[in-house]
A and B are shown apart, each in its own frame.
Chain A
Amino acid sequence: MSTTDIGWAGLAASLVLVAVAVGLSGWQRFHLSRSILWACARAAAQLFVVGFALKLVLDPDAPVAWAFVWVAVMVGFAGVTIRNRAREVPGIWLLGTLAMLAVVVVSLSVILGFGMFPVEGRTIVPLAGMMIGNSMTASVLVGRRIVGELRDKRDEVEARLALGHSWPDASRPYVRSALRTALVPQIESTKAVGLVFLPGAMTGLVLAGVDAADAVSIQLAIMYLILGSVATSITVIGLGLTRQLFTPDHRMRRIVRGAS
């Protein structure tokens, strides 16, 4: 496998495009030049720090336990990120963290249990990262949608409760709609893959010199795993969150706007 190294010069060349973006912003008075430069600088700093830490974790001589520690930290950060992006959803930090934990346990069990990839830091960390990253976005979306849907349709939910329905029955049509909304983008991107875009992992593998057929099979496996991970995370959020929005005696709690 030939390696691809863009080198410092290559990295500097990519800044030309940043200069174009900054130039456009100035010309069209978007007032985004500072934001663009700050985002680029921050991305560089973060990735260099992460890259240095990853180098330690991914070292073939490093104990594999370090990889699992890294994954645990990712789960924690993902929980905090979900909370920050969905502050109006009550109890989302705990639920989000649990959902990410479920995603990691399920996906790594399949990946490592069936021997799809060797149990090494260089497989565990990026795979878990992809599962968590995609599930995190879906979790935020589903949490916000469930709260929004149940808050907007409160009169319908209470009318169903008033007819003697249990809270799972009364909320099901609205929660189902929120879960569909969160899962549909993942299904759509799974359908469009290859036709519209080449996914990140495959692009990375091809750039790194891996044979295209091998890259395809790895990418397919990853996409199926991501689909399963997203479904797992939104199910955990859906079940857990809905339970929190109702009392055990089938009453709907007040959902306060902007509560965290």
Chain B
Amino acid sequence: MEGGTPGADGSGGGGSDGGGAAGRPDLDPVLTYEGVAVVAPDGTEVLRHVDLVVGGGRLTVLAGPSGAGKSTVLRLANRLEVPTTGVVRFRGTDLGDLDPRELRRRVGMVFQRPVVFGGTVRENLQVAAPGAGDDVVGAALERVGLPAELLDRNGDDLSGGEAQRMCIARTLLTGPEVLLMDEPTSSLDPVSRRAIEALARTLVDGGLTLLWVTHDLTQARRLADEVAVLVEGRNATADEAVRYMEGPDGADDEPGEGAR
């Protein structure tokens, strides 16, 4: 929903109270978080108790202030982290029962800052698809709105926006069903930001499921089909979610901070 409100009933909590994406039984749930808690090795509770359902073929925005645990929720879906308690499921199967390498190709991740490996754009893309020819990697670039001529360019010479789009192309080369995007525009200028948002919408319209983390409320309203709000490592209550989503837009033009 363009400029959407938090969830169908405004709660945005995504929890068992039926808020946000969790309250849409008609959607095919792709990712499901059930009572997930994460405790860091130093004893810090990063996530306390999170329930969330991410419906297929939709763009779900996970919003919340910095430090709410949003990035950890994404990293759990890609199994770069594992829950201390609770279960995360992909299409109904506990992630712990899936081969992590296989899972990570089906549930792709785009990080907050573009991660460019040494070498050319071609070599960067071939990290995801070893041995892929120029036709394949060139098509991947064009899919994200970059010209195939960039293949010979050194990855370090790309602008921030180009680099992030190349990272998206690289992730798409693994053929994911779900794309996890961790504040992917927070370090970009407004033009690049809009370009990546448009790309995300195109990908979702093409059938991809997308979970997008942001603490930029304007962006959340602009992008989301569904919104879930986290505060202090837990689902926001309905009141908290409404209050948060109606809050000042401040973050729009500020670079984001890590939300881990």
Contact = CB atoms under 8 A, between A and B. Distances in A.
Binding partners A and B: yes
Interface of A: 155-156, 158-166, 173, 249-252, 254, 256
A163 B111 contact: no
A256 B42 CA distance: 10
Nearest to B167: A159
B100 interface: yes
Contacts of A160: 117, 127
A254 B41 contact: yes
B104 A161 contact: yes
A254 B75 CA distance: 14
Given A159-B115, A254-B41, 8 more contacts: A156-B115, A156-B117, A158-B111, A162-B108, A162-B111, A166-B101, A250-B101, A252-B80
12 contacts: A158-B80, A158-B111, A160-B117, A162-B109, A162-B171, A163-B104, A163-B174, A164-B101, A164-B102, A165-B101, A249-B79, A249-B82
Contacts of B11: none
A172 to B, nearest CB: 12
Interface of B: 41, 78-82, 100-102, 104-105, 108-109, 111, 113, 115, 117-118, 127-128, 167, 170-171, 174
A254 B113 CA distance: 19
Contacts of B80: 158, 161-162, 251-252
Contacts of B118: 173
B127 A163 contact: yes
> Which residue, of A155, A164, A249, has the highest number of chain B Cβ atoms within 10 A?
A164
B81 A163 contact: no
Contacts of A165: 101, 127
B105 A163 contact: yes
Contacts of B170: 163
A248 to B, nearest CB: 10
Nearest to B180: A162
Contacts of B105: 163-164
Nearest to A250: B100
A163 B115 CA distance: 12
A251 B111 contact: no
A166 B103 CA distance: 12
B132 to A, nearest CB: 13
A164 B81 CA distance: 14
